[in-house]
Structure 1
Amino acid sequence: MDIDRRTLLKAGVGLLGGAALTACGGNASPAFVSPSGAEVRAAEQARRPGAIRSFRLVAAEDQVDLGGPVVRTWAYDGRIPGAPIRVSLGERVRATLTNRLPVDTSVHWHGLALRNDADGVPGVTQQPIKPGSEFAYEFTAAHPGTYWFHPHSGTQLDRGLYAPLIVDDPLERLDYDEEWVVVLDDWLDGVTGTPEEVLAELSRGMGMGHAGMGRHMLMGATSPLLGGDAGDVQYPHYLLNGRIPSQPQTFRAKPGARLRIRLINAGGDTAFRVALAEHRLTVTHTDGFSVQAVESDAVLIGMGERYDVLVTLKDGVFPLVALAEGKKTVARGLIRTSDRMAAPGPGLRPRELDGEVIGYDQLVPREALRLAPKRPDRTIKLELSGSMMAYDWAINGKKYDPATIYPVRSGERVRLSFVNRTMMWHPMHLHGHTLALPSGARKDTAIVLPNETLEVDFDADNPGIWMIHCHNIYHAESGMMTLLGYQQL
């Protein structure tokens, strides 16, 4: 039987089970707000939902052309990336997913502060969407910016199930002529195996008694920008808007045009260093929220992160190159403003890649977006642990357990202290909220470097039960996930 929101609300959700909804690390209290409870409904009404915009998605197995290689994979409506969903600020998204996959699935609307029962985490905010059934997500687009969506079911993200979600602000004061949405990805599905095979291989680890490296394990990928080890997985392809570098997508514009590029990293295990040949980038937004404009040669974008940049285009043909950080290969697209010139070959490495790369400390929010000064009411320490040798990624010494929920109360200023005890970088993502970096910039996904601590703050203003996890899909599925829950008042 199909499960829709009406069925879910009638059932009172009951997803985590009575014990888990009143558990915190095994204790019997406190009780937490239900993902479909009155507090969640009240928060949604406070967003003043506008007109409904309806969309339909079909998740299915299909053959997809990557610009030469044709792969059998899973995708939304047979496209990689899937068709963008685009709405205006305040409109309600009604997105109905039909599941034609052979397994359960879900959709997580990454970065949006939306109602909890639309967050798309099976077993937490909804029941899994069974093969052959449909599920209708409905939520208000409460903040403008660049977002995206993908499953929150196993390793499905590392197939082709992802697409942009853009929320336009009719009152935005940003001057540009053209726009290009760019989705980056690392790809192996249907080429060297499946993500499920990769996870099984990595989970065996590299400790004593293991037979040795599997074909998907990557050793020796290092990056000073990422503090050392750059990634775990060997990918045969890196894609820009679903295309391999030798057959790139070409964006056409006029010389002198002001171009807005919305960059999204949909990869499973890869950070990208992105630069446009012969141009400087002006960063205007990160993870949907605006920052004071700052110039740089390149941006480093971890899995789940987004950056909006502006460029004033010169006359010619210019490669937009996304270096797979530490992995010595690239994704690539072209910007063409002239038909007189030949495109440079795929081996061209823009000198800008070796120039200035913007850091978090250079991201300063516009004053209207800065959190009001306030001491944290609560600090939650999240110690990140694990290694490639044992592949035992965890938070506070525990692999993901839905019975472990860290409590907060509505109205609190909460500090998350990410303490990285590992030799690996981790892009940590909080659902349903934006975090304030030490610089004040607002993000929902932030890189925590090896053996460092990153403290970020947020206001507890969106009741429900929310996931915190590493956006390396293999780290998350191996255990680097946990939950945060709002206590009932």
Structure 2
Amino acid sequence: MLDLERARQSADQKIVPVALEARPGPIDLGGVTVNTWSYGDAVPGPQIRLRAGDLLRADLRNSLPQPTSIHWHGIALRNDMDGVPALTQDPIAPGTTFRYEFTTPDPGTYIFHPHVGTQLDRGLYGALIVEDPAEPGDYDDELVVVFDDWVDGTGRDPDQVLADLKANGMGGMGGMGGDMQGMEGMEGMQMPQSEALGGDAGDVSYPYYVANGRVSAAAQTFAGKPGQRIRLRMINIGGDTAFRVGVPGVPMTVTHTDGFPVRPVSAPTVLLGMGERVDAVITLPDQSLPLVGIAEGKGGAAHVTLNVGPRSSTTVDAAVADLASRPTVAAVGLVAAEQVVLADKTPDVVHDLEIAGPANRYTWTINGQTYDASRGLPVSEGQRVRLRFVNTTSMFHPMHLHGHTFQVRNAAVPGPRKDTVNVLPKTTIEVDFDADNPGQWLTHCHNIYHGEAGMMTVVSYVG
């Protein structure tokens, strides 16, 4: 592990220091003040930006009333910096500081967030942008947009939501959707539905949806000029909500997913499961319009206003209606750019991950078992590994692998390189990766409530 980290370093490596403090306090979401936990005084937390090959040195001070950690979502980093308590590090106790230090090997759009309980569904998150020194940068400006579903500090907190789900199932105070199998007294209940998601659209009812920490009534404004080319870095950090993202009447050219380039494709909207990121380029129109994230199947939305001059007559509600009627592109169907396609190779090991639930009111499993850090999927360094995500449920599951990127196996063309793949109901998705980063690596559903109710396991390097 340390030898691999040293191999990633260079004599002239730049060190990028970052100081973070996780603490409770009030946050203004735009006329809505909530008491939540965040990194500093804002949601999202401070954007971290560095270049591929730089060394990130991040000191986290824990001023929360419970232990915490940081997971650097999507980064193929050294295992002991991955931020999973009881698996890769001890939890960071209240009143103490922990230093994360690792090389960022791959450019792209990433996220940082805790990996303790339901802390992800509070305000503890931020964007991590790793720039490519060799990229030509065929755009004039960048806009990073983080979409989130919000419940913390509105009379409930995420711990209460999870407790309600476990006690009462998805018909209790915390929930409103999901597979009905094993759910007593729930027959006939109408769940939120999405054709794009292939069925149920979520378990949890949220009072607010935010873009860059702002509700739509007080949306962030991005100042631009007509004709400018803007690179959008779009992130879904939601706990239970997929977002359909677009600008009415303005096509997006999708260029990357989960940090890795794809063959460019034009799309009116893109669909982001929790934990997924998509980069796209747009040309700003000659009037101000919203960049909208529709809470897929849930009847809500958030947006950022693209302010380029005269205000469009298109209201946000009209934009939502327009975009909801347009085709959407799911990242799983994209094609990897030639330079990031894995070499064709027969897998040395194949692991099936059968996704099931919710049984016993609210239990989600992989291969019939809830999470146990001592059980894992064995792999050996140097192997080509194939994971088969078999979704037996009526809900979508964004499945995330720590410490690696995989290639989605599509029938005729090389699928995208990703670390989070949205597995639709009653479908199977196969992904391949090279076992080149030894350690114990979590793989799990990025619906925070599914993961905390058991849908996690470990890719375990052995031998």
Sort the TM-score into its range (normalised by shorter chain).
Answer: over 0.9
d(CA) in 2 for partners of 1:346, 1:441: 32
Displacement, 1:389?
6.7
What is the RMSD computed on CA atoms of the aligned residues? 1.3
Q: How many residues align?
A: 443
Q: Secondary structure at the match of 1:335?
A: strand
d(CA) in 1 for partners of 2:331, 2:28: 36
Corresponding position of 1:376: 347
Corresponding position of 1:75: 38
Corresponding position of 1:180: 143
**Residues 1:226 and 2:187 aligned together:** no
Please point out which of 276, 288, 292 is paired with 2:259. 288
Q: Secondary structure at the match of 2:217?
A: coil
**Residues 1:341 and 2:299 aligned together:** no
Displacement, 1:345?
3.6
Distance 1:343 1:250, change over 3 A: farther
Corresponding position of 2:187: none
Task: Describe how 1:316-327 pairs up with structure 2 within 5 A.
Answer: 316-327=287-298
d(CA) in 1 for partners of 2:63, 2:140: 39
Please point out which of 88, 92, 95 is paired with 1:125. 88
Indicate conservation of the 8 Å contact 2:271/2:331, yes or no: no
Unaligned runs of 5+ in 1: 1-39, 207-211
Displacement, 1:355?
1.6
Please point out which of 438, 446, 471 is paired with 2:421. 446
d(CA) in 2 for partners of 1:223, 1:92: 42
**Residues 1:279 and 2:250 aligned together:** yes
d(CA) in 1 for partners of 2:14, 2:234: 28
**Residues 1:471 and 2:429 aligned together:** no
Unaligned runs of 5+ in 2: 178-190
d(CA) in 2 for partners of 1:248, 1:344: 15
d(CA) in 1 for partners of 2:54, 2:312: 44
d(CA) in 2 for partners of 1:361, 1:78: 35
d(CA) in 2 for partners of 1:331, 1:156: 21
Task: Describe how 1:158-169 pairs up with structure 2 within 5 A.
Answer: 158-169=121-132
d(CA) in 1 for partners of 2:351, 2:21: 39
Displacement, 1:258?
0.2
d(CA) in 2 for partners of 1:361, 1:473: 21
Corresponding position of 1:457: 432
Task: Describe how 1:115-264 pairs up with structure 2 within 5 A.
Answer: 115-206=78-169, 213-219=171-177, 220-264=191-235
Indicate conservation of the 8 Å contact 2:332/2:422, yes or no: no
d(CA) in 2 for partners of 1:262, 1:243: 17
Q: Secondary structure at the match of 1:418?
A: strand
Distance 1:303 1:388, change over 3 A: farther
Displacement, 1:78?
1.6
Which moved further from structure 2: 354-363 or 217-226? 354-363
d(CA) in 1 for partners of 2:62, 2:29: 23
Q: Deviations over 1:377-399 (max 9, x none)?
A: 10011111112772110111000
Distance 1:361 1:393, change over 3 A: closer
**Residues 1:483 and 2:444 aligned together:** no
Indicate conservation of the 8 Å contact 1:257/1:313, yes or no: yes
Corresponding position of 2:402: 431
TM-score, normalised to structure 1's length? 0.89
d(CA) in 2 for partners of 1:341, 1:377: 57
Q: Secondary structure at the match of 2:327?
A: coil
Displacement, 1:192?
3.0
d(CA) in 1 for partners of 2:384, 2:4: 17
Indicate conservation of the 8 Å contact 2:257/2:331, yes or no: no
Corresponding position of 1:34: none
Corresponding position of 2:65: 102
Indicate conservation of the 8 Å contact 2:68/2:91, yes or no: yes
Q: Secondary structure at the match of 2:34?
A: strand
TM-score, normalised to structure 2's length? 0.93
Task: State the AA in 2 paired with 1:447.
Answer: N
Distance 1:454 1:318, change over 3 A: same
Corresponding position of 1:268: 239
d(CA) in 2 for partners of 1:147, 1:391: 30
Percent identity for Structure 1 against Structure 2 = 51
Indicate conservation of the 8 Å contact 2:249/2:268, yes or no: no
Corresponding position of 2:380: 409
Corresponding position of 1:51: 14
Indicate conservation of the 8 Å contact 1:114/1:432, yes or no: yes
Higher strand share: 2
Corresponding position of 2:182: none
Q: Deviations over 1:436-464 (max 9, x none)?
A: 01233100000111111111000001011
Q: Secondary structure at the match of 2:382?
A: coil
Displacement, 1:344?
4.6
Indicate conservation of the 8 Å contact 2:348/2:383, yes or no: yes
Displacement, 1:343?
7.0
Displacement, 1:486?
1.0
Displacement, 1:406?
1.4
Q: Deviations over 1:385-432 (max 9, x none)?
A: 112772110111000011102111111100001111111110000000
Displacement, 1:361?
5.8
Q: Secondary structure at the match of 1:475?
A: helix
Displacement, 1:366?
1.4
